[in-house]
Amino acid sequence: MSEVQRFIPDRQPTTGDVDRPLQRLSGLRAIVTGASRGIGLAIAERFAKEGCAVACLGRDVERLHACVSAITSAGGNALAVSGDLRSEGEIERQVAEAVEGLGGLDVVVNNAGTDADDWGSVHEWTAENFDEMMAVNARAPFLVAKHTLPRLLDGGGGCMLHISSICAVTVWSGDFAYGMSKAALNMLSDHIAVEYATRGIRSNTIMPGAIRTDMFEDVVANHPAGREFERDVLARHPVGRMGTPAEVAALAVTLCSDEVRFMTGSNVVIDGGYSRL
C-alpha cells in the first residue's frame, strides 16, 4: 500500500464554514427527493436555511415529517410529500402536490437512491436485484425529470441537480449495478443540460466519494468483511476520512444558485481525492 493510501483515522471537519447560510437561494422553490435522511435531508435543511422553500419527498413518512418539522421549527419553509418513486403515477402525483404546495418550481434535486445489500461479481447478481437497482437509481430520476421539466419550463427555466457517485466513473468490485445506475444518472443529466440549455434549464451532477450516512452504515453492516471493508474504503481517500452530508449540501447550494449560471453539464467530484489515486 502506498503512502497516500495508508489508513488514517476518520477525522471530521474542524470548521463550521460548510454550515454558514448566506441566503443564496432566497425566494426559490425546490423539490428534493429522498429527503428523509442522509444527503437528501442535509440538502433540504441547508436549502431552507438559504431561503428556499422545499418540498421534501420520501417513502419514510415518519422521518419525512421529522425533517419538515425541524426545518419549520428553525424558521424555514417546507412541506412533506410521501410516496414511492418506483411508480410513475406516484411520481406524477407527488410532483403535482409539491408544485401546488410551493406555488411553482425553480429547482429539482434528484437525490433518492439505494445500494445493494448483497455484493458479488457480475455473474452472481440476480436479474431481480439488478432491476431493483436500476428502478430506483436510474428509472426513478428519469421519471422525476420527465414530470418536473415541464414545470420548470412553465416558470421560464430553472436548475436540476442529480446526486450521483464517484462509482459512476470508478470501479468498486462487487457493486457493479450501483455504478452502472449512477453512470446512467450522469448521462441523464448531460442530456438535460444539452437539450434544455436554450430554454433556461441547467443540469449538473454531484459525484460524492464515501459519505458517512445511514446508507453507508447499512452497506457496512451487510458486507461480508464488515468493518474491515470500512477501513479499506477510508484508506482509498487521501484526506483520511469520509465526507459528511453537510459538505455535499454546501456544494449543492452553490450549484443551484445564480452564482454559477454558466455551469451546466458538469459532473462535480467531491471525494476527498479518491478518484485521483
| Type and span of the H or E element at 270 | strand 267-270
β-pairing, 78-82 vs 53-58, is parallel
Could you tell me the end-to-end alpha-carbon distance of the chain, in angstroms, rounded to an integer? Answer: 12
| Phi-psi category of residue 174: left, alpha or beta, with phi > 0 → left and psi -120 to 50 → alpha | left
**Chain centroid offset of residue 259 CA:** 20
- Has 178 been annotated as catalytic? yes
For 74-101, give the DSSP string.
TT--EEEEE--TT-HHHHHHHHHHHHHH
Across the beta sheet with 53-58, the strand order is 78-82, 53-58, 29-33, 107-110, 158-163, 201-208, 267-270
- Cβ-Cβ contacts under 8 Å for 266 (sequence gap 6 or more): 204, 205
Distance CA 91, CA 97 (A): 10
Out of 178, 186, 190, 208, which one is annotated catalytic? 178
Residue 163's SS3 state is strand
| Type and span of the H or E element at 31 | strand 29-33
Task: Report, as residue numbers or ranges, the catalytic residues.
Answer: 178
